[in-house]
Chain A
Amino acid sequence: MTNQTNPTVHSAFDDRAHAERPAADSPAVMSAALTRTRVATHKQTFARGLVSEWIKLRSVKSTWIGAGAFGVVLVGFAALGALLTSSAAGAGPQMTDPLSTVLMGANLAVLVLGALGALAGAREFGSRMITTTTVAVPRRWKVVVAKATVLTAVILPVSLIGVFGAYALGMPILGAHGATTVALTDPGVLTSLVGMAGYLTAIALIGFGLGMLFRGTTGAIAGIIGGVLILPMLLGSLLPDSWDVVLQFLPTSAASAFTVVAGSGGMVLSAAAGVVVLVGWVLAAVGGAGVSYVRRDV
């Protein structure tokens, strides 16, 4: 049967088909030979899965809108915080440390990244694109690891740019108004800034894990807001001091061990322990998402 309505298109297909196909006697032989050639050239590898996830992440607007919103919030609040602090600084000694001042937008910016992560984890379930993805990469663990890797590769640089941008904009404002400043070479400053970028990325990954686990953004974003913003404050003020031992293991509290975010309770882990605890949260969220995706029907 020939296609009379669209001959060019159809012949293009035929040419390709014939060019690639070795002559064979029976259809079965032909089919087997074809499958072997195609399998050899079209192997599914982890690296190819990474490329696919990168194309997906960069080809939706929400990724770049989210990243832009994050930058605006972080850098905008840095300028605002520096100006407010400077105007108050003339009267007496500063109450807050300069690093906290220029990074005061982080508490809001982290929610933007958490939501961005949640969307990265959940959106394929919303659109049902996940069925196509799962057919293309049936070894499902590879999908989860590729998605998390690509998300990290985007969010970590964005976080670093945002954090150092906030520093670069905020510190001169403080300095110009005669307020106390810190330099990158001062002890702990560089670690704090890099640590902050790490914390922001970790929350995005936890959001990603929750999004994939709940298969929807609503629960995941609620989880991020609750876990990062509400829970630490609520528990810190409601629970007796004896609970501080437990509270220091919350993600934000753990991050306060190596950055300037405010945790809950009075106790703070060592920087190394804080990193370990936060990485543990990330692995639990992403791992939980992986187990759920591997086990459940999609």
Chain B
Amino acid sequence: MIEINGITKTYGEKVAVDDLTTTIRPGVVTGFLGPNGAGKTTTMRLIVGLDRPTAGTVRVGGHSYAHSAAPLAEVGVLLDAKAVDKGRSARNHLLAVGATVGIGKARVEEVLAMVGLTEVAHKPAGGFSLGMGQRLGIAVALLADPAVLILDEPVNGLDIDGIQWVRALLTDFAVEGRTILLSSHLMSEMQLVADHLLVIGQGRLLADTSMSDFIHHTSHGEAVEVTSPDAGALMPLLAADGVVITSTDASRFTATGVSSDVVGDLAAVHGLRLHNLTTVTASLEEAYLELTRDKVEYVGGSRLAMAA
């Protein structure tokens, strides 16, 4: 459990995090979204005490991280995979970090095998590719089998094997009742793995909700894709308040604000042919863009009336 209570962080004039309050609960994967520079990394740094908040408090597992008795066992962190000494081997890097909480060779070898770095563990970490560096960063986060996992862009540069492995790991960790905070720019990946979402923009909390609620409420919800030779006759029948129809060509259109049941029934009643009737769930990407677009307009102070 991570309890963030009214944290603000300013660097000179710039406000990086602005009065953020939220609780990141155990047992679910919490996704952390926001445009570049929105304050995601700063928030993560504030949680583990790398930066001190200008105002507010953060508690991890009930206390300030600075007072943690077994830091690495409480929180595993991946903030910057390139933050390793270039000349030190991956194995020595893990041994040095693990030693701070009494972790020795056996566990280091275990973690190296987990992230698939055993073969290259003796090589200087400075020569690692982005993906290998990322694996090493994940290995550090997992060293002491932590109760809380904070990962900033963990799949950045990982190959498909690595991405699938991280996905499985996060799901397992959530099932085991651990707390997971994860940021990523890959919306499709986030949609697959996260149960809960925090969205911030310009340091402020824009959304703190479950994944399904976020997609449902922020976007137009579900859409119905229709292919029909009688599209020209069907479209006027569907017209109603809240229904938006976008026609792609003479025989195809997409309708929002109406269910596939209604479309199918109407077609049957009027004897119109249907070749395809598909319900399309809105994606996280669409919902996210919708939310941040609104935010940008709001901030710009000139909320324009949207066409259609």
Residues of A at the B interface (CB closer than 8 Å) are: 1-6, 9-10, 12-14, 16-17, 20-21, 24, 26-31, 34-35, 38-45, 48-49, 51-53, 55-56, 59-62, 123-124, 127-139, 297-298
Contacts and interface: CB of A to CB of B under 8 A. Distances in A.
A56 B77 CA distance: 20
B289 interface: no
A34 B297 CA distance: 46
A42 B97 contact: no
Contacts of B164: 3-5
Contacts of B85: 56, 60, 123-124, 127, 129
A135 B116 CA distance: 24
17 contacts: A6-B161, A21-B176, A26-B177, A29-B177, A35-B73, A38-B146, A39-B73, A124-B85, A127-B83, A127-B85, A128-B83, A130-B83, A131-B45, A135-B50, A136-B71, A137-B71, A139-B66
Interface in B173-226: 175-179
Tell which of B26, B79, B100 has the most Cβ of chain A within 10 Å. B100
A62 B87 CA distance: 9
Nearest to B115: A9
A35 B176 contact: no
Contacts of B232: none
Interface string B138-173: 001000111100000000000011001101110110
B80 interface: yes
B299 to A, nearest CB: 27
Contacts of A298: 50
Given A123-B85, A129-B84, A136-B72, A52 B49 contact: no
B165 A127 contact: no
Contacts of A48: 99-102
A31 B177 contact: yes
B32 to A, nearest CB: 18
Interface in B103-158: 103, 110, 113-116, 140, 144-147
B209 to A, nearest CB: 20
A1 B168 contact: yes
A3 B166 CA distance: 9
B101 A42 contact: yes
Contact of B116 (A2, A6, A44, A297): A6
Contacts of A35: 61, 73-74, 147
A28 B177 contact: yes
Interface string B218-252: 00000000000000000000000000000000000
B73 to A, nearest CB: 4
A110 B286 CA distance: 63
Contacts of B97: 52, 132-133, 136
Contact of B114 (A13, A38, A132): A13
Contacts of A42: 70, 72-73, 101-103, 144
A132 B88 contact: no
Given A5-B165, A9-B114, A27-B176, 4 more contacts: A6-B161, A39-B73, A55-B99, A138-B65
Contact of A44 (B80, B101, B167): B101
Contacts of B75: 135
A76 to B, nearest CB: 26
**Considering the complex of A and B, which 9 residue pairs feature the smallest CB-CB distances, nearest first?**
A27-B177, A128-B83, A42-B73, A38-B73, A31-B177, A59-B92, A52-B99, A42-B101, A27-B27
A240 B73 CA distance: 61
A35 B114 CA distance: 21
Nearest to A37: B73
A10 to B, nearest CB: 6
A5 B166 CA distance: 12
Contact of B26 (A28, A59, A137): A28
Contact of A129 (B27, B72, B83, B160): B83
Contact of B49 (A123, A133, A138): A138
B178 A44 contact: no
Contact of A3 (B27, B140, B165): B165
Given A59-B88, A127-B84, A39 B69 contact: yes
Nearest to A50: B99
Contact of B86 (A43, A127, A136): A127
A120 B90 CA distance: 19
B70 A43 contact: yes
B165 A6 contact: yes
A160 B252 CA distance: 87
Given A2-B168, A17-B172, A31-B178, A39 B70 contact: yes
A2 B168 CA distance: 6
Nearest to B170: A1
A278 B160 CA distance: 58
A55 B92 contact: yes
B295 interface: no
B70 A38 contact: yes
Nearest to A139: B66
A56 B88 contact: yes
A135 B161 contact: no
B83 A131 contact: yes
Nearest to A55: B96
A31 B100 contact: no
Contacts of B178: 31, 34
A60 B82 contact: no
Contacts of B83: 127-132
